[in-house]
Structure 1
């Protein structure tokens, strides 16, 4: 544990941010997995789940969890999967 007051504060804020980022990343992965499960089962609401997953990816970019190109690549692959399943 650090002795300097500013370093103590950095430890606290870092741990808080780490927990917040972990929760957001977990929610992102969950939304993607829900969509992929719906596509695999030919579920009717896969279009809405795709929209939710895309939105979650965009939010992750705005929060700094993912790079914009990473999110773009993931969105492209999810859309491709959706289009192949619906065709």
Structure 2
């Protein structure tokens, strides 16, 4: 256990940051799965409404990735790579 105030504070801060990192990373993974599900539905049905739904999910993904990058949860190159790969997947459909 920690022996002084600063060590106790660092434990609290580490816990807070871990929860924040977990939120952003898991949310991005969940949205990516939803995005790919919508793309599959679009490939099968060919309905433009499914592609619009995928674009809406992609815009919210961009927002979440950018916020995570701003808070140093994702490295800037990792964020750029994720966004680029997702945009390419949408374009290829």
TM norm structure 2: 0.83
Extract unaligned runs of 5+ from structure 2. 43-49
The aligned residue for residue 20 of structure 2 is 20
For 1:41 and 1:53, the matched residues in 2 are separated by: 18
The aligned residue for residue 32 of structure 2 is 32
CA displacement at 1:30 relative to structure 2: 1.3
Q: Could you tell me whether the CA contact under 8 Å between 1:31 and 1:56 is conserved in 2? A: no
After the TM superposition, list the runs of 4 or more consecutive aligned residues in structure 1 that deviate by more than 3 angstroms. Answer: none
Extract unaligned runs of 5+ from structure 1. none
Matched, 1:62 2:52: no
Corresponding pairs, count: 85
**CA RMSD across the alignment:** 1.1
For 2:33 and 2:64, the matched residues in 1 are separated by: 12
For 2:65 and 2:17, the matched residues in 1 are separated by: 18
Matched, 1:80 2:88: yes
CA displacement at 1:22 relative to structure 2: 0.7
Q: Secondary structure at the match of 1:41?
A: helix
